[in-house]
Amino acid sequence: MLLEVRNLHIHYDKVEAVKGVSLSLEQGQIITLIGANGAGKSSILKAISGLIRPSSGEILYHGNRIDRSAPSTIVEQGIVHVPEGRRIFKLMTVRENLRMGAYLNSDRGEITRGIEDVFDRFPILREKQGQAAGRLSGGQQQMVAMGRALMARPKVLLMDEPSLGLSPKLIDEISELIISLRDSGLSIVLVEQNANLALTLSNHGYVMETGAIALEGASQELLHDPEVARAYLGA
């Protein structure tokens, strides 16, 4: 197992946001966490990437515990978190944002090649490389966020609401990107409110309700589950 979360509990002060969640991700798979706002999905991603300390439970990567590690150590091992709301550095240029993605890499040639790869993938960013990233459109900012994550040469991507605020056309582009990344061997944990999209893209799905997993299964099955359809797919 590549990444495993066992019986995770997360508290914010006295409020329990995550109540004993277990997940597992295999190499080359996409798993998704769906559910309403405040169900604890983002908290789980933050715990995996080390931004918050779980109050109990274990997170294992290649069988080693990482739930007490600093974010920098975790990203160094190839787990890269694309946070909710993109969180690009708005005052920095597009190019500087990409450079920050490769912060732990000191090989200049590799960094330059990485930036070129991102520009090949998102040609518009090449044009805008010298502009403050905050001046870009929402879709372009999402490209910066994705590009920055790819600069870290991830093995596992934690994606928090990548479709949020994007037009249908851009959602299609992001979906294609996610599939192509998986096909190139990346493993992905996808958090989404757009359950239809998330279940279409993923292999395995977890439905979260108020901090716990209410339902899990193969994404195709969840997609056709009447309960899921009624509560999350707007059917």
What does the binding site for other proteins look like in residue numbers (CB under 8 A)? 49-51, 70-72, 75-76, 80-81, 83, 87-92, 96, 99-101, 103-104, 106, 134, 148, 152
Q: Please, which residue, 89 or 210, has the CB nearer to other proteins?
A: 89
In the complex with other proteins, which residue's Cβ is closer, 47 or 207?
A: 47
Q: Which is nearer to other proteins, 32 or 141 (CB)?
A: 141
Q: How far is the CB of 82 from other proteins (least distance, A)?
A: 8
Give the phi and the psi of residue 152 in degrees, each rounded to 5: -80, 0
Element (H, E) at 122: none
Query: What is the per-residue DSSP string for 66-89?
Result: -TTS-HHHHHHTTEEEE-TT----
Q: Residues in the chain, how many?
A: 235
- Burial of residue 53, with CB atoms counted within 10 A of its CB: 0-12 exposed, 13-18 middle, 19 or more buried: exposed
Least distance to other proteins, CB of residue 219, Å:
27
Residues 155, 110, 163: CA angle, nearest 5 degrees: 45
16 versus 96: smaller Cβ distance to other proteins = 96
CA–CA distance, 69 with 216 (Å, rounded to integer): 28
**Smallest distance, Å, CB 220 to other proteins?**
32
In the complex, the smallest distance separating the C-beta of residue 50 from other proteins, rounded to whole angstroms, is: 8
Give the single-character DSSP code of 60: E
C-beta closer to other proteins: residue 38 or 134: 134
Closest contact distance (angstroms) between CB of 100 and other proteins is 5
